[in-house]
Structure 1
């Protein structure tokens, strides 16, 4: 009790009659059963209770306010009797009572009480609910009630001021950036705001004062909608669909269950749906905390903000639930646990989304810079492709006049200049696709004409092998062809395949170095599987298992002073583009085997 001017005596009963049937205090006492403790009736133990309060006033102040501080109580009926037992007044309030019929037009349940000085009155209070039974009675003088109302308005003003600002902020970023993340965030914040307004009676006062049935089901409906929105926001913010498939399925299931609860609360309100919402609430730490932990393990950028946010909400909701069940006494923290928890939760979410927006801006700036770099590279490639053609023409002309050279060497020189020319053409084509066409034009052009590559495996291999055999002609290294090259067309670009094979052989030559060694080349055509396998095995220095895990990554180089780390990366990319595969096996001091699997074209 808030006021020390009114002494009270309270008794609790399990009634077997309606209070409206009673005409005087004597009749009431005759009908009352044996008193029970408040704990026996608290929580979900009872849906109907009768409380008898005796108020004695020894103060000059005679007018007081009886406050019932549990907003979810559905029906409250108060009948006052004077000391002679005569019925003084009857007043009703509660969640199901139309707002216009309340004694005091307030979101709280307030009842004016007149207690003459040095006299006493008896209040019979009948409580009915399908939810939790609570007895948070407080008596205030007018001045005390004014102070209480000021504190309540200050707290609610701060809470709803912050939460509505965050709601407006979430709407602004959704309108500015679009996307699933910001839309899910907006609807979650909206569900939090409306659920809290419904829970505390503010929505009943300002939004639907003449809809008592909707007011009865609205809190459960919006709590279920809040759970649904939180599940969807979690899936998107932590990217569980890609990073945590089992958690994602769990969140999907919880979303469906929450949607079912929202609909069920409207069509069949009662103990069942109340208990189901309670079960859903108890599942929050079992679903969303693991989701946040998995997000941290998977290095989700939003997880460091998500996990503490969800923990704050769960702690606040748990305090309120324990108070609701009668385990914890009513206090500022337990009565406002959900408000405090949700405020901290959405604040952390907003900070996390702010960091996400900064990342979006950084990535957008990076894309602009990368596009500029790509443009410069494309221009450089165009210039190189143009300038290289003059010396190529001279080399071609020179090869025709090398009378003293053998036909084989002249053919090799012509083949080499032709391959350089193909590389130049390839560079020019790629430069055009990146620089001279828009993305839409390039996509449309690719969709209209992207013929399947048809490259002669034997011809490309013979050209590259002739070049490499000439290169190692005067060394201790031998290139050994273990079987004849098959006549087949493979699904890779000719210039890219020649470059890939050249890169593989270059690596083998460099791995052997100046030491005696052999490069073995074997090919196998599998008509049944429609594939061609090319195996290149050398007797070079080999690689450790740690190096083998890194090799092929762009920029990684091993054992070369001036290596660029692009050779095997280009090989893998070329094979992948033609639906082929690359595998590498190696042992230190034993050598390396590179196997290329190429689809053939029939």
Structure 2
């Protein structure tokens, strides 16, 4: 049964009043009645005295438990009077060893026994650096134990759920090495440890002998929660990508949180708490604003973050306002943050899972884009290579043409003709096909050149070359300038009659029209020597020598004529002594 409405209280600013003084009649009028729903004086340096009267109207003895349901009071002295007699005195508080409590419990519980019709006066003296809250409740032992079993099950589920979530995200961190998971694990662990510290469960189950650490644990875990939540927020929402100012603002909150964490070891509890309470209010509102801003910026996981933190920050805000004595102490303000923190942790775990899914999707998309870009670049590179290859082939072809072309006449040169002559000679010898070779020389060219000069000689050669080219009609026939005024014509697959026809056509074409120069028009003739037949074992140089000797035979016979030698007579021809005329 709650006894808040039955309380009377007295403030002792100096903390020097004794129980004997307060029980004297002159002080009775200075007691104030409790009118609020719960006794909550906020943070105070005074000592506070509480008293209530319990009567046993029954005809049998009564055994009950009187609970003071706030676990972090530093000093709690309980005096039990039956009439004028002091029946019991209990010295409790979280600055006392846990094992010295009359009832081993996270709250301050004392056993009461009184006879039928007996009246007990209970006096509490409370001196604490924490918030002065003292909700007294009178319990029957069986109901108390039932309540405790239910509370332990609920608290076990809460701490178990938070531990599972923390371990799960820690394993993800060990796989991905993403610091946002590490910050989240630190936050998820710091919140239940803070709740366990403020509810007395940590002192009961985790460190019952660590009196000094227990006094520092509440601001330590609260500061750690503020710092890690800020670090988690700015990394989880990728704040730096869309707002540098908010990114550094969250960093400032984290620095302040770690500063309070260090301060909790050296400064008094009340000093650190007075810094942490406004920091917590600001951090709650600021991180909520960052979440909403990220939602507006269309950050993929922002909606989960906002919904999750709305539940948790609502509980945290109510707890902070409760400690500032703005909100009354009740079940919602004291324990709503636990429900909110579980819901927040579950929703954020979903958000983290969605983040992994989104990052995998982006990774696959990036891989596809990279693959497409690689294929595209490869195709572009291949196209460029093909284009450059074509350009190089064209340049090589042009260079080859320049190398194999006579610059004056535009015909092929001697280098090209030697290659063609050898190739066609070898082919005709392999397949025993006819082969014809004609050597053509301009008659009296030296005299013409000496008389009219080199420009006129060049014009003469150009016009002769043009007329020779007009006489070559088959693609396989090859014509080249072989010397100064000499030309060479290879006629594959051509017998003696065909070679004579071509040779006569050439001779007539040159002689038919005069050569036009800047000095006037002049008649020019050519002499032609032809070698025909099917190659045997002779080298191509023998055919060239035979055609050359046939050419000089034409020169010796009066010029402007055609002379033909057969390959079958090549051995005889090679032994003939043909007198070469002087150079024309």
| TM-score w.r.t. length of structure 2 | 0.62
Distance 1:112 1:192 in 2: 33
Range that drifts further, 93-102 or 384-393: 384-393
In the aligned structure 1, how far is the partner of 2:121 from the partner of 2:87?
10
Q: Distance in 2 between matches of 1:27 and 1:387?
A: 108
1:86 is displaced (CA, Å) by 0.6
Evaluate the alpha carbon distance shift between residue 16 and residue 297 of structure 1 in structure 2; reply closer, same or farther with a 3 A threshold.
closer
Q: Distance in 1 between matches of 2:33 and 2:234?
A: 46
CA–CA separation in structure 1 for the residues paired with 2:369 and 2:379: 15
| Bigger mean CA offset, 146-155 vs 367-376 | 367-376
- Following the alignment from structure 1 to structure 2, what is the Cα–Cα distance between the partners of residues 311 and 183? 22
Match in the other structure for 2:208: 209
**From 34, 42, 46, the counterpart of 2:30:** 34
* CA positional deviation for 1:215: 1.0
Q: 2:7 matched to which residue of 1?
A: 10
Q: Distance in 1 between matches of 2:287 and 2:335?
A: 22
Write the mapping of 1:436-475 to structure 2, written as runs, cut at 5 A: none
Q: Which segment drifts farther, 264-273 or 366-375?
A: 366-375
Contact 2:15 2:47 in 1 (8 A): no
Alignment partner, residue 117 of structure 1: 116
- Of stretches 227-236 and 66-75 in structure 1, the one that deviates more from structure 2 is 66-75
SS in structure 1 of the partner of residue 94 of structure 2: coil
Aligned positions of 1:165-180 closer than 5 A: 165-180=164-179
Alpha carbons of structure 1 residues 28 and 17: separation in structure 2 relative to 1, 3 Å: farther
Aligned residue runs from structure 1 range 479-498, under 5 A: none
Q: Are positions 1:54 and 2:53 aligned together? A: yes
**Does residue 1:80 correspond to 2:80, yes or no?**
yes
Contact 2:80 2:122 in 1 (8 A): yes
The 1:379–1:245 alpha-carbon spacing in structure 2 relative to 1, beyond 3 Å, is: closer
CA positional deviation for 1:97: 1.9
Residue by residue over 1:336-386, the C-alpha shift from the partner in whole angstroms, topping out at 9 and shown as x without a partner, is 022122222222221111101112332343455455545655665666566
SS of equivalent to 1:97: coil
What runs of 5+ residues in structure 2 fail to find an aligned partner?
A: 408-584
Separation in structure 1 between the aligned mates of residue 29 and residue 259 of structure 2, nearest angstrom? 41
After TM superposition, give the deviation of residue 399 of structure 1 in Å: 4.8
Greater Cα radius of gyration, structure 1 or 2 = 2
Tell me the CA shift for residue 286 of structure 1: 3.6
In structure 1, distance between residues paired with 2:22 and 2:188: 53
Q: Displacement of 1:397 after TM fit?
A: 5.4
Change (3 A) 1:108 1:249: same
Change (3 A) 1:22 1:34: closer
- Which residue of the partner structure matches residue 304 of structure 1? 303
Mapped to 1, the partners of 2:93 and 2:332 lie a distance apart of: 23
Match of 1:67 in 2: 67
Question: Root-mean-square deviation (CA), in Å?
Answer: 3.1
In structure 2, distance between residues paired with 1:337 and 1:110: 23
Deviations 1:94-133 (A, max 9, x none): 2222111111222222211113233221111111112221
Give the Cα–Cα distance (whole angstroms) in 2 for the partners of residues 386 and 26 of structure 1. 103
Shift of 1:73: 1.9
Q: Which moved more, 1:59-68 or 1:223-232?
A: 59-68
Deviation at 1:300, TM superposition (A): 1.8
Deviation (angstroms), 1:249: 2.1
Q: Which piece of structure 1 moves more, 124-133 or 234-243? A: 234-243
Q: Partners of 1:43 and 1:379 in 2: how far apart?
A: 73
> Take 2:24 and 2:274, find their aligned partners in 1: how far apart are those partners?
34
Structure 1 residues without counterparts, runs of 5 or longer? 408-602
Q: Give the SS at the match of 2:125.
A: strand
How far apart in 2 are the matches of 1:211 and 1:19?
Answer: 29
Contact 2:61 2:113 in 1 (8 A): no
Q: Is the 8 A contact 1:8 1:53 kept in 2?
A: no
What per-residue deviation string (whole Å, max 9, x for no partner) do you get for residues 39-66 of structure 1? 6972235642111110112345611111
Q: C-alpha distance in 2, partners of 1:184/1:342?
A: 16
Task: Kindly indicate whether the alpha-carbon contact (under 8 Å) linking 1:244 and 1:294 is maintained by their aligned counterparts in 2.
Answer: no
1:81 deviation in Å?
0.7
Contact 1:46 1:133 in 2 (8 A): no
What CA distance in whole angstroms lies between the structure 2 residues aligned with 1:171 and 1:161? 15
Where in structure 2 are the equivalents of 1:424-435 lying within 5 Å?
none
Q: How does 1:265-344 map to 2 (within 5 A)?
A: 265-344=264-343
1:146-157 aligned within 5 A: 146-157=145-156
CA pair 382-342 structure 1, distance change in 2 beyond 3 A: same
**Paired residues for 1:372-383 under 5 Å:** 372-373=371-372, 376-377=375-376, 380=379
Whether the 8 Å contact between 1:8 and 1:55 is mirrored in structure 2 is no
